[in-house]
Amino acid sequence: MNHFALTIIGRDRPGIVAQVTDILYRLGCNIADSSSTILGGQFAMILIISHPEFKGREDFGDVFAPLEESHLSVFLRTLKPGGEKRPDLPGEICMISVYGSDKPGIVFRVTRELGARGVNITDLNTKLVGSEERPVYVMMLEAILPEKLSIEDLEKAMKGLQEELQVDISVRSITPVEL
pLDDT in tens, 27-52: 999 999 999 999 888 999 999 999 99
Domain boundary among 28, 52, 78: 78
Label residue 78 by pLDDT band (50, 70, 90): very high
Label residue 4 by pLDDT band (50, 70, 90): very high
For the cut 60, the answer to whether the pLDDT of residue 179 exceeds it is no
Check residues 84 and 109 and name the one with the higher pLDDT: 109
Residues 50 and 105 in one domain: no
Residues 128 and 100 in one domain: yes
pLDDT, tens digit (0-9, with 9 covering 90-100), for 123-169: 999 998 888 888 899 999 999 999 899 999 999 999 999 999 999 99
Label residue 178 by pLDDT band (50, 70, 90): low
Average pLDDT over residues 86-112: 89
Domain for residue 135, yes or no? Answer: yes
Domain boundary among 78, 102, 130: 78
Listed residue (114, 166, 168) closest to 143, CA to CA: 114
Domain for residue 27, yes or no? Answer: yes
Domain for residue 83, yes or no? Answer: no
Average pLDDT over residues 94-121: 94
Residues 112 and 154 in one domain: yes
Task: Quickly count: other Cβ atoms within 10 Å of residue 156's Cβ.
Answer: 11
Residues 125 and 169 in one domain: yes
The answer to whether residues 31 and 24 touch, using CB atoms and an 8 Å cutoff, is yes
CATH number of the domain bearing residue 152: 3.30.70.260
Strands of the sheet with 167-173, listed across from one edge:
120-130, 135-144, 93-100, 167-173
Cα separation, 16 vs 8, in Å, equals 9
For the cut 70, the answer to whether the pLDDT of residue 176 exceeds it is no
Question: Do strands 93-100 and 2-11 pair parallel, antiparallel, or not at all (unpaired)?
Answer: unpaired
Residues 98 and 163 in one domain: yes
Residues 101 and 40 in one domain: no
Domain for residue 148, yes or no? Answer: yes
Domain for residue 179, yes or no? Answer: no
Work out how many domains the chain is built from and give that number.
2
Range of the domain at 36: 2-78
The answer to whether residues 1 and 50 touch, using CB atoms and an 8 Å cutoff, is yes
Residues 104 and 55 in one domain: no
Domain for residue 87, yes or no? Answer: no
Domain for residue 86, yes or no? Answer: no
Domain boundary among 78, 104, 123: 78
Helix 151-165 and helix 106-116: axis angle, to 10°? 150
Domain for residue 55, yes or no? Answer: yes
